[in-house]
Amino acid sequence: MTAAAIAADVRAGRRTAESIVEDALGLVAARDGDVHAFLHVDTEGAIAAARAVDARVARGEEPGPLAGVPLALKDNLCTRGIPTTCGSRILEGWRPPYTATAVERLLACGAVPLGKTNLDEFAMGSSTENSAFGPTRNPRNPARVPGGSSGGSAAAVAAGFAPIALGTDTGGSIRQPAALCGVVGVKPTYGAVSRYGLIAFASSLDQIGPFATNVADAAAVLEAMAGPDPRDSTSWPEPFAPLDVRADVSGLRVGVVRELMGEGIAADVAARAAEAADALSAAGAKVDEVSVPGARYALSAYYLIAPAEASSNLARYDGVRYGLRVERDDITTTYGATRAAGFGAEVKRRIMLGTYALSAGYYDAYYGQAQRARTLLIRDFAAAYERFDVLLTPTTPTTAFELGARTADPLSMYLSDVCTVPSNLAGHPAMTVPFGTGADGLPIGVQVLAPALGERVMFRVAATLEEVAPR
């Protein structure tokens, strides 16, 4: 069932939120042993929240647009009193003293969190294999990864555990797993959704966004949580404009990004993106090819900027205020031992890469040059958006790969993000819509990109792609 159908039933009193949530929890109990989408299932909390929704309905109060809809939350979103690990041993057992704004807003709309989902440690990864608590498997094929870093949330929606989920996207961590699991995933404009209560990875890139089985549900979740928040000084100060999910692209100008259709993109994936472009053309859009030269080096810039910001953000895990402490004779040796024991290999690699990129003698050549490349990419996008309303690319270079296939070679894993990182560097919105399958029968996603705060037109294109996608 879609989130919209569940909320309609609960609001009309045809079904109770409690029965919906009990069914969802039953499915998780029966099947999540194979998928491992969840790190923590909050059975008691979910039942209590569902009963509270039912009580509002019984009293004739407004229960909210997401009344009784089961929700899965990526485990880097703080939930007061409920374990929040970031997939890391360093935060194992931590219970946050506050709840993320995005989560609070969905609770106020009647959504019912089932629990916390698996992720690559501190959201660093593209397969969910970097979780300290074991990998998640792709519900479409358990030998394959679900993508990452929000692989648990993508898998929870693909497996039918919850119709909606929240993830976070720093370089593609919502869109890439959504594509590999065959669901819809949205990275909103930077600042559209408050980051308060999101455990920071790379603060100039991180953004919270929804997963859903369909475009309209994703829009409903985004509308419910977007908007200014005084607790996040980087949240966009104007109210978030209502979305439009009419499948109408007549007269819209769609640019297919040349740099992301050839080298490095699997033939079956590129073919689906080309098919999507043709379908938009048939639906009345004006489709043409466009060059975004900065897309070629965006991945390099990203893998200097994101680790640099991470190396600073993760300095807070020092064994003093929360999380793991490996106590030694003095504070300095305690820091070193705590961080060595608490962080996994990928987090250590990124901290060292970022520290190197920021260190004396290398700062300008690496971090400074990457920041200037970021400016050039933003200029390339601006030029493209003078001629086009939205851009179209594949979401990922390949379909879901096998577990273990890329873990020994970090660079091969990083290449999974080549189509998605440009939007994060620019702060622009982008979303993926399932569009058929590849030669291996696994899902392929097509990505729609828009300029900052261009979600309204982006969702119209996504709704059209959803309507014309091969079944």
Partner 1 sequence: MAVPISRDDVAHVARLARLDVTDEELDRFTAQLAAVLEYASDVASLDTAGVPPTAHPLELLNVLREDVPVASLDRDEVLAAAPAVVDGRFRVPKILGEAP
Give yes or no for residue 363 binding partner 1 (CB under 8 A).
Answer: no
Give yes or no for residue 264 binding partner 1 (CB under 8 A).
Answer: no
Residue labelled with tokens 């490996």: 326
**Active-site residue, from 74, 131, 194, 423:** 74
Give yes or no for residue 414 binding partner 1 (CB under 8 A).
Answer: yes
Cβ atoms within 10 Å, residue 16:
18
Give yes or no for residue 191 binding partner 1 (CB under 8 A).
Answer: yes
Give yes or no for residue 115 binding partner 1 (CB under 8 A).
Answer: no
Binding range to partner 1, per CB under 8 A, among 14-22, 50-58, 369-377, 439-447: 369-377
Give yes or no for residue 266 binding partner 1 (CB under 8 A).
Answer: no
| Residue selected from 349, 383, 405, 456 as contacting partner 1 according to rule CB under 8 A | 349
Query: Which of 385, 449, 457 has the alpha carbon at shortest distance from 419?
Result: 449
Q: Which two tokens stand for residue 61?
A: 């109060």
Do residues 289 and 387 make contact, with C-beta atoms less than 8 angstroms apart?
no
| Residue selected from 44, 238, 263, 329 as contacting partner 1 according to rule CB under 8 A | 329
Query: Under rule CB under 8 A, which residues in 87-106 are in contact with partner 1?
Result: 94-98
The CA distance from 138 to 400, in Å, is 8
Query: Under rule CB under 8 A, which residues in 215-244 are in contact with partner 1?
Result: 230, 233-234, 236-237
Give the nearest distance from C-beta 376 to partner 1 in angstroms: 6
The CA distance from 441 to 127, in Å, is 19
Binding range to partner 1, per CB under 8 A, among 39-47, 174-182, 257-265, 334-342: 334-342
Helix (H), strand (E), coil (C) string for 345-398: HHHHHHHHHHHHHHCCCCCHHHHHHHHHHHHHHHHHHHHHHHHCCEEEEECCCC
For residue 85, the SS3 value is: coil
Local structure of residue 214 (DSSP, 8 states): S
Give the nearest distance from C-beta 388 to partner 1 in angstroms: 20
Give yes or no for residue 324 binding partner 1 (CB under 8 A).
Answer: yes
| Residue selected from 89, 356, 405, 407 as contacting partner 1 according to rule CB under 8 A | 356
Binding range to partner 1, per CB under 8 A, among 24-32, 179-187, 298-306, 462-470: 298-306
5 or 341: CB nearest partner 1: 341
The CA distance from 29 to 41, in Å, is 9
Question: Is position 74 annotated as part of the catalytic site?
Answer: yes
CA-to-CA separations, 18 to 50, 141, 209, 442, in angstroms, rounded:
5, 31, 26, 34
Binding range to partner 1, per CB under 8 A, among 26-34, 214-222, 250-258, 420-428: 420-428
For residue 173, the SS3 value is: coil
Give the nearest distance from C-beta 317 to partner 1 in angstroms: 10
What x/- string results for residues 140 through 179 when contact with partner 1 is judged by CB under 8 A? Answer: ----------------------------------------
**Active-site residue, from 88, 126, 127, 149:** 149
Do residues 159 and 139 make contact, with C-beta atoms less than 8 angstroms apart?
yes
Cβ atoms within 10 Å, residue 422:
33
Sheet holding 164-168, edge to edge: 38-41, 112-117, 70-74, 164-168, 208-212, 184-187, 430-437, 443-449, 390-394, 253-257, 286-290
Give yes or no for residue 301 binding partner 1 (CB under 8 A).
Answer: yes
Binding range to partner 1, per CB under 8 A, among 49-57, 114-122, 419-427, 454-462: 419-427
Q: Which two tokens stand for residue 178?
A: 């959504």
Do residues 445 and 431 make contact, with C-beta atoms less than 8 angstroms apart?
no
**Active-site residue, from 88, 127, 153, 173:** 173
Residues 6+ apart with CB under 8 A from 166: 71, 72, 73, 74, 77, 102, 103, 106, 153, 208, 209, 210, 211, 221, 225
Do residues 39 and 152 make contact, with C-beta atoms less than 8 angstroms apart?
yes
**How many residues sit in the footprint of partner 1 (CB under 8 A)?**
72
| Residue selected from 29, 359, 382, 402 as contacting partner 1 according to rule CB under 8 A | 359
28 or 421: CB nearest partner 1: 421
| Residue selected from 245, 426, 448, 463 as contacting partner 1 according to rule CB under 8 A | 426
Cβ atoms within 10 Å, residue 12:
10
240 or 343: CB nearest partner 1: 343
Give yes or no for residue 371 binding partner 1 (CB under 8 A).
Answer: yes
Give yes or no for residue 319 binding partner 1 (CB under 8 A).
Answer: yes
The residues assigned a catalytic role are: 74, 149, 173
